[in-house]
Chain A
Amino acid sequence: MEEQSKFPELSEAEQKALEELLPEEMTEIIASGIKRRHFLKLFAVTGTSLLAAHLLGIEQLMARALPIEQQAPLLIENGVNLAFKVNGTAQQLLVDSRMTLLDTLRERLNLTGSKKGCDHGQCGACTVILDDKRVLSCLTLAVTCEDKKVTTIEGLAIGNELHPMQTSFIKHDGFQCGYCTPGQICSAVALMDEAKNGEASYVTADVRRKKRSVTLSDEEIRERMSGNICRCGAYPNIVDAIREVHGDKAVAQVWQFAEGTI
């Protein structure tokens, strides 16, 4: 692979082309995610819905925390008081003992970045980081999170500065529809720590040789990310995105603007 500077910006011409494709309020849409319906409508009208869908993918990836407004539940049985931290903010709420962490994030705390894919622990779209470990929020009962720290896709960026993994997913086009993307990115962020800690996987050549940190081959990345399914099949680009962040070395992206379009 050709090497280049870390996270190269788009060229001026490319940036201009992208701007021309987007409505004026795109920056705001991407930043807040609140005008998604209007945005979709706009693209449906102009007949470029495929592009719209893809840009929504970007929106998923860049989802960030708005001030959290708790939603009142409709009905609670066997209520349990829960105090935990979500993206650095302390939260206290009364939850039904049946409530999963995923539903609590989405329905009570309005953090809809984490996605409900299968709701049975088979797809990874709901992956969040719980006390520094990646877990499936759809199989985690909220009541078991007392005193724990949750990081969701909304909590990865610092202000307007994206997490390197988010930047890398954009650069490498590591998604199409974007639905699995928040889970993919949370999973990949936690994976970086697991590799630094020298943790083994099923494809590690020799589990007996404990190393201080592990350098991940593509095969290792694929095995360790196998809990995150992407139905669009963006896997090669996801692997590239992770390899760039893990290797601290730029990896050339495979996409380019078509000739004559800029």
Chain B
Amino acid sequence: MRAFKYSNVSDAAAAIKLVSANQTAKYLAGGTNLVDLMKEDVMRPTELVDVSRLKHARIEKKGDGISIGATATNASTANDENIRENYPLLSMAILAGASAQIRNMATNGGNLNQRTRCTYFYDVNMPCNKRAPGTGCGALHGVNKNHAIFGWSEKCVATYPSDMAVALAALDAVVQVEGINNTKRSIPFADFHRLPGDHPEKDNNLQQGEFITAIDLPANRLAEKSYYLKIRERSSYAFALVSVAAALATDDNTIKEVRIALGGVAHKPWRASVAERWLIGKQATEKNFRAAAAAELKSARPLAHNKYKVSLAAKAIVRALEGAMQGGLYGAMEADSTTTNKN
């Protein structure tokens, strides 16, 4: 690992000042991804500003909704009573990610700032426009089994790895950000992460030095019918091949409201808005779920090695919606989900 200066600060304003003044400085919270990337020489910050002790860890009511502190750990967020009761989709998604140890360390702000696990990004001997702009994308014509089927560009076909973010996308989260001189802005979740386009080196729309203070969730009526389905190559502690956050509100089996977001398929959490629009006002039946999923996947553009993701995502959408309709209970829907090669 390259040498870096470590700075500990007492408040967010001081941290923002330091990171804004140094283009190669980074915030350090849980460090679960950043420290690893520094060991791999993928990220080379000259300064780390420790924000893990800042007082931004509260999870509290805000209006009808909830405000989730950026420096709260993933573990404490998933187990917060209010979140378990009113935003079970978020609890399920967080608990589907990483391991207990990592969830104890990783923070919510850090989760949104984690980098792709694309192996070309991780291997400094390989070309990668995200790590070294202009060197090309190794995965585009390389081994791209785990890569994107939506929204990719010739410059980058990486996927975004977070489970938590998939639920936040479905729940219409708003990211609260603070910049230099106490400037504050609210970023709707759909605008937080980016598609790769010509600048895959930018994962999200934060400016250097901008600090996530909280993630807000508006109230919803989806808690009773929420489900997070994660399909991976082993049953735990692995990144998603495809994941689906699904939530519904129905009236006499007519769909009044529906949210579907996909993980593992794009450079950002992929809100399945085509499927959502298709389902509004329809009956909550398997047949309709299948039709909606097919409509969504029509625009998929698979690569050489990931055509399986198109049918997998379609089936996962159906299964996640069925799981949500059954009250989001773990069990029946998951029984054979670990043997995804059956699909």
**A residues with CB within 8 A of B:** 77-78, 80, 96-98, 100, 119-121, 124, 127, 133-136, 139-141, 143-144, 146, 187, 190-191, 194, 197, 199-208, 210, 222-228
Instruction: A225 to B99: give the CA distance in the assembly, Å.
Output: 8
Given contacts A141-B31, A141-B35, 14 further A-B contacts (CB under 8 A): A98-B1, A135-B104, A139-B31, A139-B32, A141-B48, A187-B100, A187-B101, A199-B75, A200-B84, A206-B328, A208-B84, A224-B100, A226-B237, A228-B99
Instruction: A98 to B46: give the CA distance in the assembly, Å.
Output: 11
Instruction: A224 to B99: give the CA distance in the assembly, Å.
Output: 7
**Are the C-beta atoms of A200 and B48 separated by less than 8 Å?**
no
B2 closest partner in A (C-beta): A98
Other-chain residue from A144, A197, A204, A222 in contact with B50 (beta carbon distance below 8 A): A144
Tell me which of A124, A139, A187 has the highest count of chain B C-beta atoms within 10 A of its own C-beta: A139
**In the assembled complex, B132 has its CB within 8 A of some CB on chain A:** no
**In the assembled complex, B308 has its CB within 8 A of some CB on chain A:** no
**Are the C-beta atoms of A207 and B88 separated by less than 8 Å?**
yes
Q: Contacts A124-B101, A206-B328, A227-B102 known; A136 to B32 CB distance under 8 Å?
A: yes
Other-chain residue from B3, B101, B223, B237 in contact with A77 (beta carbon distance below 8 A): B3
**Are the C-beta atoms of A97 and B102 separated by less than 8 Å?**
no
17 contacts between A and B (CB under 8 A): A97-B5, A98-B3, A100-B35, A134-B100, A135-B104, A136-B101, A139-B32, A141-B6, A144-B50, A197-B79, A199-B79, A200-B79, A200-B84, A205-B331, A208-B328, A210-B85, A227-B102
CB distance from A94 to the nearest CB of B (A): 12
**B residues with CB within 8 A of A:** 1-6, 8, 28, 31-32, 35-36, 38-40, 48, 50, 52, 75, 78-79, 81, 84-85, 88, 91-92, 95-96, 98-102, 104-105, 223, 230, 235-237, 327-331, 334
Instruction: A70 to B104: give the CA distance in the assembly, Å.
Output: 28
Q: For A78, what are the chain B residues with a Cβ–Cβ distance below 8 Å?
A: 3-6
Instruction: A21 to B200: give the CA distance in the assembly, Å.
Output: 62
Q: State the main secondary structure of chain B at its contact with A.
A: mixed
**Are the C-beta atoms of B236 and A210 separated by less than 8 Å?**
no
Q: For B104, what are the chain A residues with a Cβ–Cβ distance below 8 Å?
A: 133-135
Q: Contacts A141-B6, A144-B50, A207-B84 known; A202 to B35 CB distance under 8 Å?
A: no
Q: For B84, what are the chain A residues with a Cβ–Cβ distance below 8 Å?
A: 200, 207-208, 210
Other-chain residue from A136, A141, A143 in contact with B102 (beta carbon distance below 8 A): A136
What 9 A-B pairs come out closest when comparing CB atoms?
A227-B99, A226-B236, A97-B6, A226-B237, A202-B95, A133-B104, A77-B3, A98-B1, A207-B91
Other-chain residue from A80, A210, A224 in contact with B6 (beta carbon distance below 8 A): A80
**Are the C-beta atoms of A208 and B102 separated by less than 8 Å?**
no
Q: For B236, what are the chain A residues with a Cβ–Cβ distance below 8 Å?
A: 202, 222-223, 226
Q: For B48, what are the chain A residues with a Cβ–Cβ distance below 8 Å?
A: 97, 141
Q: State the main secondary structure of chain A at its contact with B.
A: loop
Instruction: A83 to B48: give the CA distance in the assembly, Å.
Output: 19
Q: For A80, what are the chain B residues with a Cβ–Cβ distance below 8 Å?
A: 6
**Are the C-beta atoms of A208 and B88 separated by less than 8 Å?**
yes
Instruction: A35 to B105: give the CA distance in the assembly, Å.
Output: 36
Instruction: A141 to B52: give the CA distance in the assembly, Å.
Output: 12
B32 closest partner in A (C-beta): A139
CB distance from B166 to the nearest CB of A (A): 14
Q: Contacts A98-B4, A136-B102, A136-B105 known; A206 to B330 CB distance under 8 Å?
A: yes
Instruction: A110 to B5: give the CA distance in the assembly, Å.
Output: 26
Q: For B38, what are the chain A residues with a Cβ–Cβ distance below 8 Å?
A: 98
Q: For A121, what are the chain B residues with a Cβ–Cβ distance below 8 Å?
A: 32, 36, 102
Instruction: A202 to B234: give the CA distance in the assembly, Å.
Output: 14
**Are the C-beta atoms of A140 and B31 separated by less than 8 Å?**
yes
Q: For B101, what are the chain A residues with a Cβ–Cβ distance below 8 Å?
A: 124, 127, 134-136, 187, 227
**Are the C-beta atoms of B31 and A202 separated by less than 8 Å?**
no
Q: Contacts A100-B35, A139-B35 known; A133 to B75 CB distance under 8 Å?
A: yes
Other-chain residue from A98, A135, A197, A203 in contact with B330 (beta carbon distance below 8 A): A203
Tell me which of A100, A194, A226 has the highest count of chain B C-beta atoms within 10 A of its own C-beta: A226
Instruction: A119 to B39: give the CA distance in the assembly, Å.
Output: 9
Q: For A98, what are the chain B residues with a Cβ–Cβ distance below 8 Å?
A: 1-4, 38
Tell me which of A127, A143, A190, A191 has the highest count of chain B C-beta atoms within 10 A of its own C-beta: A143
**Are the C-beta atoms of B95 and A135 separated by less than 8 Å?**
no
Q: For B3, what are the chain A residues with a Cβ–Cβ distance below 8 Å?
A: 77-78, 96-98
Instruction: A223 to B334: give the CA distance in the assembly, Å.
Output: 13
Q: For A124, what are the chain B residues with a Cβ–Cβ distance below 8 Å?
A: 99, 101
Other-chain residue from B28, B40, B230, B329 in contact with A206 (beta carbon distance below 8 A): B329
